[in-house]
Amino acid sequence: MSKHCIYPGSFDPITMGHIDIIQRLSAVFDQITVLVAQAPHKNYLFSSEERQSLVVSCLQGIKNVDVEIHQGLTIEYAQKVQARVIVRGLRAVSDFEYELAMANVNSKLAPEIETLIVFTRPEYGHISSRMVKEVAEFGGELKDLVPSHVAEALRMKIHHRSK
């Protein structure tokens, strides 16, 4: 059986923390699908196509990863491609309740699919896309939080938006 996992998220934008998780997954799974979520009620900074293309550009050199956009439930996508594993990252206790609730709902809806949790490395535990956007809004240093071309995309987006 091929080991295929789905790593879903907003990736608005992708950060060093996400990249670390994907690199680690690529060493233990045959195939990883990074699933860029498009939820109707969420207010994203980047469009789904921009978020997808930033993810792709950060993963050059990792052969067993593909990046797809999906509107709808992650389990539906997993069932469609016959993947049995959804992976989520856990940074701190504050992430726990939400992740537990989501994993429980998913396992009620699709008992054949497992949610696996990967713990963030301590050096990335403080990074979130929301925090990165706040730092960028105020012109702060983005080095160590996101790759340099993602920092540039953030600066451009914020500059154009404030015009």
Q: Which is nearer to ligand ADP, 91 or 110 (CB)?
A: 91
Please identify which residue in the block is written with the tokens 């963030």. 120
Name every residue whose Cβ is closer than 8 Å to that of residue 130 and which is 6 or more positions away in sequence: none
Among 26, 120, 136, 150, binds ligand ADP (CB under 6 A): 120
b or e along 87-121 (b: 16 or more beta carbons within 10 Å of the residue's beta carbon)? bbbbbeeebeeeeeeebeebeeebeebebeebebe
Can you tell me which of 91, 146, 147, 151 binds ligand ADP, judged by CB under 6 A? 91
Query: Nearer Cβ to ligand ADP, position 89 or 147?
Result: 89
* Region binding ligand ADP by CB under 6 A among candidate stretches 52-60, 125-133, 136-144, 155-163: 125-133
Write out the DSSP string of 72-92: S-HHHHHHHHT--EEEEEE-S
Q: Which is nearer to ligand ADP, 70 or 88 (CB)?
A: 88
Residue from 18, 45, 151, 154 in contact with ligand ADP (CB under 6 A):
18
Please say if 53 is a catalytic residue: no
The secondary element (H helix, E strand) that includes residue 36 is strand 31-37
Residue 1 tokens, joined: 């059986």
Binding site for ligand ADP (CB under 6 A): 9-11, 15, 17-18, 21, 88-89, 91, 95, 120, 124, 127-129
Catalytic residues: 18, 42, 91, 129
